Amino acid sequence: MANVAIIGAQWGDEGKGKIVDLFTDDADIVVRFQGGNNAGHTLVVDGKKTVLHLIPSGALHPNKLCVIGNGVVVDPEVLLEEITALKRQGHFMDDAQLRISEEAHLIMPYHKAIDQARERLRGEGMIGTTGRGIGPAYEDKVARVGIRDIDLLEEETFQEKLRRNIEEKNIYLKAILKEKTLDFNRLHDSYSVYREKLRSYVTDTSLLLDREMRAGKQVLFEGAQGTLLDVDHGTYPFVTSSNTVAGGVCSGTGVGPRHIHQIIGISKAYTTRVGGGPFPTELHGPEGETLKREGFEFGATTGRPRRCGWFDAVGVRHAVRTSGISGIALTKLDVLTGFKKIPICTAYRYDSTLVNDFPASLKVIQHAQPVYEEMEGWDKPLEGARKFSDLPAQAQKYVRRLEELVQTEIILVSVGPGREQTILLKNPFDN
């Protein structure tokens, strides 16, 4: 038996959805452990694209249990819309396929109102949040005033917490943010409807996972966003509001660390970022536009164009270290086809200092200059490759050089969006 965690090794959007969907074949249970509907995991099956925001990417497999852990913040409206959409496509027909932690915190309308208002007030200094209320929901969780799924199921508790929060948030919305206030009755009535629709899904998922693992079931833990967006280990303050590193698996599910056997980091063969914040290898000319066009680099959640740049080995090494990554799944290698030379960032230069490790200082990373080495490119399309030996020699050398630079084995190479467009070198479930 093996349990595997999937972690984003860059600034998110690395292709986790496809990889999770692929490895779900070997798992019995797929678990989301952090983030909210700011995630957008894209799956392409038989040419049909599905984007999931809250529900784990195992949803397209009929006999897999999908679990939303306590570390996730849940917008009930979005979740129910997602369930309905999947059912329309013939998936998720059995409600027993989904379980939601009773300890997961709810995103409320005031969280979204605060999130969006703050971004407007920041102007050019905006962080680039999705405006979905994720950050304010986590703030309430840490401030111990959040509303959890278990609270929603208990009418008296829900009323009490909602009334107290509405009173406080309305003062903040009106006096500080100059926004409209929210009506208690309207909000209470809408969430009472959500209560009845979600009741059957809510349970003690920590206990559930422990019981299933003891019975020999294999679990795949699905992360959202990426290491460089981690609230502690990323480019703070241009980060998400949760821990995206592997440590978040345990705190976000109630599963002990000894139950995690393999940690797979997902990395593109180049680098992208959505929203504000430093990006040392960012390209502003035609090469960046080519990556954007060929990689279809637009956010699955927001539709915003992604900033594109060359592979940053400094950032991925940081992810390897902070999450204890045991293998790398390399995605979108096919997008690099046609470049005569492909630079790889091996270090940064700040002033006259060579920086080999990812800096905590925002000032340093904002002004860091990438130190590049160049690899030979290739012209042969990669979409039909199914074995590593099918890749052009230059592409093989590129992959092996990335392995050396990030000091971690590359276990998978993706050469297209479809499930079948994958070269699997090592299965992490074969532990």
Residue-wise pLDDT tens digits, 63-97: 899 999 999 999 999 999 999 988 888 888 888 99
Catalytic residues: 13, 41
What type of residue sits at position 315? G
**pLDDT lower than 70: segments of the chain:** 39-48, 124-128, 299-302, 431
User: Which helix (H) or strand (E) is 376 found in, with range?
Assistant: strand 369-376
Question: How far does CA 346 lie from the centroid of its chain?
Answer: 25
What pLDDT was estimated at residue 7? 96
Which tokens is 23 given?
Answer: 């490895």
Residue 165 CA: distances (Å) to CA of 70, 212, 336: 21, 37, 50
C-beta separation of 98 from 55 below 8 A: yes
* pLDDT value of position 118: 87
What is the pLDDT at residue 302? 64
Could you give the domains of the chain? Answer: 4-101+202-259 (3.40.440.10), 105-198 (1.10.300.10), 267-424 (3.90.170.10)
Q: Around Cβ 429, how many Cβ atoms within 10 Å?
A: 17
Whether the CB-CB separation of 68 and 74 falls below 8 Å is answered with: yes
Per-residue model confidence (pLDDT) at position 304: 78
Classified as helix, coil or strand, 211 is: helix
The radius of gyration computed from the CA coordinates of the chain, to the nearest angstrom, equals 22
Locate tokens 């509303």: which residue? 147
Is 98 strand, coil or helix?
A: strand
pLDDT of 40: 67
